[in-house]
Amino acid sequence: MKNIFIIVILFSFIQLYSQVGKKEYLETTGFNCVQSVSKKFFQAAAKGNKEDINKFRKIIINNCVEGKYISSHKFKSINKKIVYTDSIVKPIFIWVTNFYCTTCINEIKLINELCRIYADNVEFFVFFGDKRNNVKKLASKYDSRIHLIPIEKKLGKYNDILYFDKFKHSHIFPAAYVINIDKKIVKHFLGFSNKVGEETEKKIFENILKKYSKPLEELIN
């Protein structure tokens, strides 16, 4: 009887350990969640309902993305260089943009500044929801140390699932992922806007730079 009790206890510990140690990946569990919530996000955006937009944005960030891991990826840049995530031994910053996203294009300066400050300690990627030709039109505007990755394919009912190797992103721009050396997403940003008068442009730049810099500082210090 005593032996049976010990076996039951050991089995319980094994189950608990396996649940604690189990990793959830963005490409599977995380993206299923993103897809479900994104539908509500886009419906709210179509109605101009700012309260619901912010609510669903927070759900995507907190419930679907942050805390998830990215799996092994093979990204091909516009110069056809292959970058393997498994070979990267420092934090990763991924910025997701689109050629037709005016707000995203306006923030090229922001991404370049982040790269200037952190390039020695962080690997930078910009993912484009566009074909290679559109990416090439913008390539010269980016810091040469940033990997520029064009989309590989679009799937989904409305072509709203963007694939970069196995990495999947819903059609929301701009977006950023901050990933630690264990390939865990520690911070996710969605939809910062720059639609303001010129008199406040510098202030917005400084505020967003501070928000993006904070998780990077925490990872490298």
Are the C-beta atoms of residues 65 and 94 closer than 8 Å to each other? no
Strand partners, 95: 126, 176
pLDDT for the residue 88: 98
pTM of the model: 0.86
Distance, in Å, from the CA atom of 90 to the CA atom of 120, rounded to the nearest integer, reads 9
211 versus 15: the higher-pLDDT residue is 211
The token pair at 7 is 């076996």
CA dihedral 33, 35, 39, 41 (to 10 degrees): 60
Distance, in Å, from the CA atom of 123 to the CA atom of 171, rounded to the nearest integer, reads 23
pLDDT for the residue 112: 97
pLDDT for the residue 55: 95
Model pLDDT for residues 153-163, shown as the tens digit of each residue: 998 877 889 99
80 φ/ψ sector (left φ>0, alpha ψ -120 to 50, else beta): left
pLDDT bin (cut points 50, 70, 90) of residue 192 is low
- Residue 5 predicted with pLDDT over 70: no
Model pLDDT for residues 45-58, shown as the tens digit of each residue: 899 999 999 999 99
Model pLDDT for residues 19-43, shown as the tens digit of each residue: 445 899 999 999 999 999 998 998 9
The token pair at 84 is 């393997």
Spatial neighbors of 168 by CB under 8 A, at least 6 apart, are 26, 27, 31, 34, 161, 162
Average pLDDT over residues 148-157: 90
Are the C-beta atoms of residues 149 and 164 closer than 8 Å to each other? yes
Are the C-beta atoms of residues 107 and 208 closer than 8 Å to each other? yes
Residue type at 129?
G
Are the C-beta atoms of residues 173 and 97 closer than 8 Å to each other? yes
Distance, in Å, from the CA atom of 123 to the CA atom of 127, rounded to the nearest integer, reads 13
- Residue 200 predicted with pLDDT over 90: no
- Give the containing element (helix H, strand E) for 208: helix 201-220
- Residue 196 predicted with pLDDT over 50: no
pLDDT for the residue 199: 54
Domains of the chain, each with CATH number or no CATH: 2-220 (3.40.30.10)
pLDDT for the residue 29: 94
Model pLDDT for residues 67-81, shown as the tens digit of each residue: 999 999 999 999 889
pLDDT for the residue 22: 82
pLDDT for the residue 156: 84
Distance, in Å, from the CA atom of 26 to the CA atom of 53, rounded to the nearest integer, reads 21
pLDDT for the residue 15: 47
Give me the percent of the chain exceeding a pLDDT of 90: 66
Helix, strand, coil percentages (3-state) for the chain, rounded to 5, are 50, 20, 30
Average pLDDT over residues 89-95: 97
